[in-house]
Amino acid sequence: MEDVEGSVPVPAVAARVFGDGLPGAERFAALLERFGVERGLIGPREVERLWDRHLLNSAVIGERIPAGATVVDIGSGAGFPGIPLALARPDLTLTLVEPMARRVDWLGEVIEDLGLAIKVLRGRAEERAVRAELEPADVVTSRAVAPLGRLAGWSLPLLREGGMMLALKGASAQEEIARDEAAVARAGGGTPKVSECGVGVLETPTTVVIVERIRARKSAQEKRRRNAAAVRPKRAE
Ligand SMILES: C[S@@+](CC[C@H](N)C(=O)[O-])C[C@H]1O[C@@H](n2cnc3c(N)ncnc32)[C@H](O)[C@@H]1O
């Protein structure tokens, strides 16, 4: 992409959060400032708060991600939280899953421009073809994609057993947990926990709902096999 100059001031804390990835984060912010609104990726009011509400807020969730983890970010949109996470944590192996062609194009352009080794998959997280493309991940991230229960049904099947879903949720976190805990359990998740990331670093830390995948979801075929075995009469000895 062309040369762009960002006008939004870079907060001092960005150097601490992004480390060596800061130049990439500045470039990403400048690209979003230049093209984000015109390409329908962010609202005009988001430009002023690109750093606080978007880049920093996304990158700090790296605190909850183990070194060298494989991460699938679902519903990345303009690139959140996946792109800032990749810039702050080059040790991670990231895949972005996004169904909208326009956004997939943007993500591809940005990844190339920033020289990041990130894969982008076009599709919905719950689609069989998308699931088939992905190895079971250590972590699945998302922000502003769906209510917690539905999100668990999309995210948990992409995880290995013991893997973690990290959903950036904000003020609705506890309410969503109270409402959707049973749906999370049905999808194979453990008890959801709320965690704050970026405490002592950001003015407003990022609220994340963390759910561990504790058991594999049974496929329809497996369920039919189990049901058939349960009703089949035992042969006499
Ligand atoms: C409100 S946007 C949020 C984008 C980005 N995560 C952010 O926080 O700026 C929701 C995004 O989720 C995507 N999406 C919706 N349903 C999805 C699904 N089932 N699987 C993957 N992505 C989905 C949409 O195309 C859209 O880009």
Nearest CA to ligand 1 atom 4: 77
> Does the annotation list 80 as a binding residue?
yes
Q: How far lies 157's CA from each of 59, 125, 135, in Å?
A: 24, 9, 11
Residue 235 known to bind ligand: no
What is the position in ligand 1's atom list of the atom closest to the CA of 142?
A: 6
Most informative mutation of 100, 140, 145 for ligand 1 (most atoms within 8 A of CB): 145
Q: Does the structure show a pLDDT above 60 at 14?
A: yes
Q: Which tokens belong to 100?
A: 């909208």
Mean pLDDT of 71-99: 98
Instruction: Specify the residue with its C-alpha closest to ligand 1, atom 14.
Output: 75
- Beta partners for residue 194, in sequence order: 209
Amino acid at residue number 81: P
Helix axes 148-155, 173-186, angle to 10 degrees: 40
Question: Beta 137-143 vs 70-74: how paired, if at all?
Answer: parallel
Q: Which atom of ligand 1 is nearest to the CA of 58?
A: 8
The residue type of 121 is L
* Domains of the chain, residue spans: 13-231
Confidence of residue 100 (pLDDT cuts 50, 70, 90): very high
Q: Residue 18 annotated as binding?
A: no
CATH number for the domain whose boundaries are 13-231? 3.40.50.150
Per-residue pLDDT, 228: 78
Cβ atoms of 198 and 206 closer than 8 Å: yes
- Tell how far the Cα of 6 is from the centroid of ligand 1, in angstroms: 25
Q: Whose CA is nearest to atom 3 of ligand 1?
A: 144
112 belongs to an annotated ligand binding site? no
Q: How far is the CA of 176 from the centre of ligand 1 (A)?
A: 18
**pLDDT exceeds cutoff 90 at 226:** no
- Backbone dihedral region for residue 87 (phi beyond 0: left; psi -120 to 50: alpha; all else: beta): alpha
DSSP helix/strand/coil, 70: strand
- Residue 196 is which amino acid? E
Which residues contact ligand 1 via a Cβ below 6 A?
74-78, 80, 97-100, 103, 124-126, 143-145, 154
How many angstroms does the Cα of residue 124 sit away from the middle of ligand 1?
A: 9
Contact call for residues 188 and 215 (beta carbons, < 8 A): yes
The CA distance from 225 to 167, in Å, is 33
> How far does residue 182's CA lie from ligand 1's centre (Å)?
23
Q: Can you tell me the distance from the alpha carbon of 31 to that of 27, in angstroms, rounded to the nearest whole number?
A: 6
3 state SS of 213: strand
- pLDDT of 224 > 80? The answer is no
pLDDT band, very low/low/confident/very high, at 236 (cuts 50, 70, 90): low
Q: Which helix (H) or strand (E) holds 25?
A: helix 22-31
Q: Distance between CA 26 and CA 23 in Å, rounded?
A: 5
Q: What is the residue-wise DSSP string for 160-211?
A: EEEEEEEEE-GGGHHHHHHHHHHHHHHTTB---EEEEESTTTSSSPEEEEEE
Q: Which residue has the tokens 């075995």?
A: 229
Locus of tokens 């959140």: 80
Q: Mean pLDDT throughout 1-20?
A: 90
The alpha carbon of 73 and the centre of ligand 1 are apart by a number of angstroms equal to: 10
Whether the predicted pLDDT of 34 surpasses 80: yes
At 76-88, the pLDDT tens digits run: 999 999 999 999 9
How far is residue 103's CA from residue 122's CA, in Å, rounded to a whole number? 9
Residue 188 CA, chain-centre distance (Å), reads: 18
Q: Whose CA is nearest to atom 8 of ligand 1?
A: 143
Task: Give percent of the chain with pLDDT exceeding 70.
Answer: 93
